[in-house]
Amino acid sequence: MNKENEAIAKTPQFYLVMLILIVMVLGTIATAWRTIELGVMAIGTWTIWTFYQQRKQSQQAYLKELFYQLIQENNG
């Protein structure tokens, strides 16, 4: 950092601007929190549902394969 940047960083105006920016960011996060929560819940629900469907299809495929194997072994 050069001397000019150091001088700017130590002024009260710099700290005021930084404080305002931090408050604005926190305010935006607080306002958007419900939307963020809903998004996370939607993604979690979709992930669980997809896992459930894949597991169900896998079980059905296994049972179908087992059924046809038993048919073959017992000659119909």
For the chain, the structural domain boundaries read 3-73
Alpha-carbon gap, residue 21 to 11, rounded angstroms:
16
Distance of CA 31 to CAs 1, 3, 48, 69, 71, Å? 36, 39, 28, 59, 62
Render pLDDT for 10-46 as a digit per residue (tens, 0 to 9): 788 888 999 999 999 999 988 888 888 999 999 999 9
Residue 2, pLDDT score: 63
CB proximity list for 9: less than 8 A, separation 6 or greater: 1
- pLDDT class of 9 with cuts at 50, 70, 90: low
Cα-Cα end-to-end distance for the chain: 84
pLDDT of residue 44: 96
